[in-house]
Amino acid sequence: MKRLCFAILLLLLCASFGLSQQVQVQEVTLDNGMRLLMVPRKGDPNIAAGWIARVGSVNERPGITGLSHLFEHMMFKGTHTIGTKNDQEDTRIQNEMDRVRGEIEVELNALIQKQRLGEISDAKDPKFRSQKHQDLLKQMEELEKKQKDLMVKDEFDKIYTKAGGSGMNATTTPDFTLYFINVPANKLELWFWMESDRLLNPVFREFYSERDVVHEERRLRTDSTPTGKFDEELDAMFWESSPYAWPVVGWPSDLEGVTRREALDYFALHYAPNNLIMCLVGDFEPANAVALAKKYLERIPRGKQNPEPVRTQEVKQLAEKRMVAYAETSPQVVIRYHAVAGGHADGFALGLMADLLNGRTGRLSKSLVLKQGLANSAVAFQQGRKYEGVFEFRGTAKPGHTPEEVEQALYKEIERLQKEPVPDEELQKVKNLNAAGAFRRLQSSFNLMFQLLVADSGRGWSTINADPPRFQAVTAKDIMRVANTYFAPENRTVGVYYTKRADSGGDDPQLAGLTDQEKQQVKQLKGFLAQAKPEQIKQMLGRVDEQAASAPPDKQKFVGLIKKLLEERLKQLEGGKQ
């Protein structure tokens, strides 16, 4: 009874917030088409500042996959003003590198053709390269060294850090690319100048060597993780025609072949002002922000054309797809159904359904983990992307049980949703939690900035205010209807993972005694640390220190190893060792 009363009080609080304290956003569209969203919050010493490009991996094409993510790296390399001791010489070297790289591509394509015809075994094997090919590679190496000697390393980051900025980073998804930072309130003009400069004067310094960095990132985050390559294969199988089929990081051959000219053309189309949105949340005067935006951002010319929306739609799936894999992980099953894009009316019922299924008191945990003892964990989630959607179930089998047992148990929970109306009290509980979550997510200036940009890049920022009531309007009949509409056997793709143990001689001694899940998390952390900045590592160390004391005994080794890896990488970076 106490839980129910608390839930009712929480719902009333959130409902009151939704009616009287909806997010108020001031928006301005500049002459070049760029949009500026502003939410003044007095008393906050920092401003959460960010901007979003309405472009992600879904906007790519075969041959340049991974290019959207590559910009994450290139946009921090500086401009004609920042990051070099001699811009004129740097530009000359860049142009020469483009020329040499073009000749190398001719040599590479010839080797690839020979491999296709069976004349050589591996186009990447150095022993098959011509003398001209070897000479070109040497020229490229010399040019890269000359450019590196001209660079002022990490100058873009250092300018912000010296001015008190923190948390500078970026993220790429299938649907968008977002850049963000926290800046002191009195450094707003610096932010406008810095961001406008890298949009107006992109140089993509170290482009060809940075491709190799991203390739290494792919190796660490995908190829070297227990299920990374298989998850990627499952994606490619699930999305039959949609461009969501390829990974955000890109296919290996595309990362090796994409050129700086292709990158500049892609940038000119997708990073033009008419495809960008800026956002500020914090203590500032909107009139001053608009004046700064006009001064710095309006000098960037509008794009010659607007990017076109993605044309290719996912074809209707007609038969179940199934993949069986053996990986160094616990036995598990993944079940995916094609669902709806973000904003679709059915997405709200599917979202609440995921809430019903998840959490310690959710249906999946109660049934598969606690009652039946089949699984160590079981989750579900709804993801409505810009053009398509997916609903996924995932369960990890307990020792002594199989993925197939978990799979059948998940189907029984799906059948229950299809045949039995969700009780009013259970549905109201998840509605209350959904409303509370929406309320909490708006409290942080950074989170609000992030949400506004993501929302505005899709259906518009006002959906932050409009969507919560649509969740509250979902009925038990709605949930039954969408369960029957989308969870059909012919609409699903299933991935079954069995355990394949690594040879003991090849195991990392540091991982001894850890669970498969912990080992995977450690490998993912190593991939992250390869690209992380010192400030990010310090923030993670702070969180690890906070949690270390309360970690249960069986987690102490795992937490200790995480802390050790963070400290070692931080020492390397601060000591100047890359």
Average pLDDT over residues 101-124: 94
pTM over 0.85: no
| 98 alpha carbon, distance to own chain's centre | 30
For residues 268 and 303, is the Cβ–Cβ distance under 8 A?
A: yes
Q: Where residue 510 falls among pLDDT bands split at 50, 70, 90? A: confident
pLDDT at residue 8 is higher than 60: no
Q: How far is CA 232 from CA 44, 110, 235, 238, in A?
A: 42, 29, 5, 10
Length reported for the chain: 578
pLDDT at 220: 81
pLDDT score, position 20: 39
Q: How far is CA 276 from CA 24, 303, 456, in A?
A: 21, 11, 10
Please give the residue that has the higher pLDDT: either 144 or 534.
Answer: 144
pLDDT at 15: 44
Residue 344 DSSP code: -
Mean pLDDT score, 122-144: 94
Give me Rg for the CA atoms of the chain: 26
Beta partners for 384? 389
Nearest to 78 by CA among 150, 171, 186: 150
Contact present, 422 and 356 (Cβ < 8 Å): yes
Q: In what order do the strands lie in the sheet with 166-172?
A: 26-29, 35-40, 276-282, 46-53, 177-184, 166-172
Q: What is the pLDDT of residues 273-291, one digit of tens each?
A: 999 999 999 999 999 999 9
**Which parts of 266-388 are beta strand (E)?**
276-282, 321-327, 332-338, 375-384
Model confidence pLDDT, tens digit, residues 123-132? 999 999 999 9
pLDDT of residue 152: 93
**Smallest Cα–Cα separation from 409: which of 382, 371, 381?**
371
Question: Per-residue pLDDT for 161 more than 50?
Answer: yes
> Closest Cα partner for 445 from 192, 189, 185?
185
Beta-carbon contacts of residue 195 (< 8 Å; ≥ 6 apart) = 51, 179, 278, 296, 297
pLDDT value of position 106 = 95
pLDDT at site 13: 45
Closest CA relative to residue 96, chosen from 143, 146, 150: 143
DSSP for 222-258 reads IITSSSHHHHHHHHHHH-SSSGGGS-TT--HHHHHH-
Q: Which whole number is the average pLDDT over 129-155?
A: 94
Per-residue pLDDT at 7: 42
- Supply the angle between the helices 424-441 and 445-457 in degrees, to the nearest 10: 110
Contact by Cβ (8 Å): 35, 29 = yes
**464 pLDDT band (50/70/90 cuts)?**
very high
Report how far residue 553's alpha carbon sits from residue 558's, in angstroms, rounded to the nearest whole number: 10
Amino acid at 333: V
Stated as kind and residue range, the H or E segment containing 48 is strand 46-53
Closest alpha carbon to 57 in 273, 218, 226, 279 = 218
Name the CATH topology of 321-499.
Answer: Cytochrome Bc1 Complex; Chain A, domain 1 (3.30.830)
Answer yes or no: is pLDDT of 376 > 80. Answer: yes
Pairing label, strands 389-397, 375-384? antiparallel
User: What does the pLDDT read at residue 558?
Assistant: 86
Picking from 391, 354, 408, 357, the residue whose alpha carbon sits closest to that of residue 487 is 391
Q: What is the mean pLDDT of the chain?
A: 90
Q: How far apart are CA 395 and CA 373, in angstroms?
A: 12
11-70 tens-digit pLDDT? 444 444 443 358 999 999 999 999 999 999 998 889 999 999 999 999 999 999 999 999
Over the range 55-89, which residues count as b (16 or more CB within 10 Å of their CB) and which as e?
A: bbbbbbeeebbbbbbbbbbbbbbbbbebbbeebee
Q: In the structure encoding, which two tokens stand for residue 283, read together?
A: 């203590």
The pLDDT value given to residue 502: 52
Please choose, from the candidates 471, 259, 198, the residue with its C-alpha nearest in 3D space to the C-alpha of residue 352. 471
Q: What's the pLDDT band for 508 if we cut at 50, 70, 90?
A: low
Adjacency order of strands within the sheet including 492-499:
321-327, 492-499, 332-338, 389-397, 375-384
The pLDDT value given to residue 21: 58
Q: Decide the pairing of beta strands 177-184 and 332-338.
A: unpaired
Residue 527 confidence (pLDDT): 67
Place of tokens 């080797």: 111
Least reliable range by pLDDT among 2-11, 61-70, 496-505, 543-552: 2-11
CATH number for the region 26-84+153-297 comes to 3.30.830.10
- Cβ-based neighbour number of residue 220 at 10 Å: 20
Of the pLDDT bands very low, low, confident and very high (cuts 50, 70, 90), residue 505 is very low
